[in-house]
Amino acid sequence: MEQAAGKKPGAAHRGELLEVEIESLAFGGRGVARTDGYVVFVAGALPGDRVRAEVTKAKRRFAEARTVELLSPGADRVADRCVHGGEPCPGAPWQGLPYERQLAHKREQTEEALRRIGGLDGFELEEIVPAVERWRYRNKLEYSFGERGGETILGFHARGRWDLIVDVEDCLLASQRGNAARNEVRGWARLESIPPYDRRAREGVLRNLVVREGRRSGQVQTRLVTSPARFPKPPVDLHTVIEGDSGGTDGPTGALGEERLREELCGLRLEISHGAFFQTNTEMAERLYAVAAEYAGLSGGERVFDLYCGIGTIGLTMAARAGEVWGLEIVPETIADAERNAERNGIANARFVAGSARTGVRPLLEEAGKPDVVVIDPPRAGLSQKIVRRLIECEAQRIVYVSCNPTTLAPNAAQLGEAGYRLSRVRPVDMFPQTPHIECVALLEKA
């Protein structure tokens, strides 16, 4: 790292421009540069790159920065394919890495998290499952409205910027159908001269557009998010109204067209409410759930608990090989989706209960009895200590942990290990090519 004259070696301050060479990748995808014992984590940089980076946060031993100029690319860097307004797509920060390198980094980072954070050993780390499609794989994308030169634009926040929107014409993460749906709404907004919402001025109307796609059904569902206002009917399926300065997309929603998204997964016909969680990569969700089913090792008579069950996808895909399936989910509307999906597919041995994993497991045990297998698919934050205790109280022979964050899987697996469970197998699954996000499935067996 180059230092200014008279400057203490290794020191940095917010707003400073540094020239650094990237040595490796940190968990989460940022490049790592080191000098004189000082570490700089650089967003938008890959191993071998020499970049000019602006410091966004400075601490005594490390700094965080964002790339403002690529001075010389690393030897393995490939040309960016998804570019908007001259900027790499914010949703594809690893597109400069050859795909084989992406897979290798994800597998290595999974192992590092389990060993370093969890202190775990003796497990089999299996080969990562590569993506079916490396581009145009996302079945859901959220876009933000903005203004440029007096014209409404619709796209993504620029990397590291909440106040700058980059207009999008063809995002290679989305299908051509999804891109066309977004562009239609943008054209309508321009034609009707409806102003975008300005968070600084706290005025305007158009906030976000959510585009979801049934990859197998061919359905595209659009949801417009606005401030309260009167305007001509938009060409969308759903309309969400948000008051105040919220940056989210959740709020009271009315139907103008198709209320639910139709999709097919693992041979099941599903209907999904707009607020329900569904894996963002349909094709890889099938492979993820196949790994979960393999690890569950069902023979036809087992009782399965599906915690954080959402619309029931994991439990329903296992139901044919189980004696009975019980799903637990905190959102009542999502439980209603799960029950409808069970009925649509003629699955009679699955029941779904509204409740949190923290308070709902004990009542579920009283009603259903102890499970043979527990499948758990928690959010990125993983499981709290209390939920881990509830999981232990189930006394299941096998726990199948579907994780979207190995750094929270690791301590949870260690906590379960203290209670007599052995981490035996882990298999990463590449759900999100061109990004640093890591999904994996872990099997813990009672000793």
Beta bridge partners of 226: 206, 241
Total-model pTM: 0.93
> Which sequence positions are flagged as catalytic?
404
**3-state per-residue secondary structure call for 53-98:** EEEEEECCCEEEEEEEEEEECCCCCCCCCCEECCEECCCCCCCCCC
CA–CA distance, 12 with 432 (Å, rounded to integer)? 33
Model pLDDT, residue 6: 35
DSSP state of 320: G
134-152: buried (b, 16+ CB within 10 Å) or exposed (e) per residue?
A: ebbbbbbbebbbbeeeeeb
DSSP state of 228: S
Model pLDDT, residue 10: 58
CA–CA distance, 246 with 149 (Å, rounded to integer)? 25
DSSP state of 432: S
What CATH number is given for 104-133+281-446 in this structure?
3.40.50.150
Distances in Å between the alpha carbon of 112 and those of 121, 125, 195, 387, 443?
11, 11, 48, 25, 17
Burial level of 299, CB count in 10 A (0-12/13-18/19+)?
Answer: exposed
Kindly report, residue by residue over 264-307, the tens digit of the pLDDT.
999 999 999 999 999 999 999 999 999 999 999 999 999 999 99
- Give the number of other CB atoms < 10 A from CB of residue 50: 16
Tokens matching residue 427: 């298999």
CATH among 1.10.3720.10, 2.40.50.1070, 3.40.50.1240, 3.40.50.1370 for 140-261: 2.40.50.1070
CATH 3.90.850.10 applies to domain 17-77: no
- Give the number of other CB atoms < 10 A from CB of residue 379: 11
Residues found in the chain: 447
Kindly report, residue by residue over 116-140, the tens digit of the pLDDT.
999 999 999 999 999 999 999 999 9
Report the amino acid identity of residue 270: L
Can you state the percent helix, strand and coil of the chain, rounding each to 5? 25, 30, 45
Where does the chain hold its CATH 2.40.50.140 domain(s)? 17-77
* Beta-strand relationship, 373-376 and 421-429: unpaired
Model pLDDT, residue 177: 97
Closest Cα to residue 432, out of 127, 106, 210?
106
Helical H segments across 248-384, by residue range: 282-296, 313-318, 332-344, 361-368
- Give the number of other CB atoms < 10 A from CB of residue 267: 9
User: Which residues in the chain show pLDDT less than 50?
Assistant: 1-9
